[in-house]
Amino acid sequence: MPERIKHAPLDKDKIKQPRAEIHLLKDQCKGCGYCIEFCPKKVLEESDEINIKGIRPPRIVDESQCIMCGFCTAVCPDFAIFVVEKPPTENAKHA
């Protein structure tokens, strides 16, 4: 359907994306970069920080972009990343 979309969806406010809380166990990270590579929303990037192992762990760019697919947890060889859901601030149901 080729019509151009000009108006924001009317139910925009009702949709509540799950709010993710990303936990990085930085010292456990060995810097393989899988999480950065595979995150579909590009939530993570390499940081300037140096951890206990002397490598650069990832850094969170924008936590609100995370949709909690959980792939980072799945691919991390060192169990260094996991995501939990924050309780929604509004009562609106997830569409």
Residue type at 16? K
3-class SS string, 5-74: CCCCCCCCCCCCCCEEEEEECHHHCCCCCHHHHHCCCCCEEECCCCCCCCCCCEEECCHHHCCCCCHHHH
- Residue 17 touches other proteins, criterion: CB under 8 A: yes
CB under 8 A: which stretch of 27-35, 38-46, 51-59, 79-87 binds other proteins?
38-46
Quick one: 49 or 85, whose CB is closer to other proteins? 85
- Residue 93 touches other proteins, criterion: CB under 8 A: no
- Residue 87 touches other proteins, criterion: CB under 8 A: no
The H-assigned helical ranges of the chain are 34-38, 71-75
- Residue 6 touches other proteins, criterion: CB under 8 A: yes
Quick one: 27 or 85, whose CB is closer to other proteins? 85
Cβ count near 44 (within 10 Å): 24
- Residue 68 touches other proteins, criterion: CB under 8 A: yes
Residue numbers at the binding site for other proteins (CB under 8 A) = 1-12, 15, 17-18, 38, 40-41, 67-71, 95
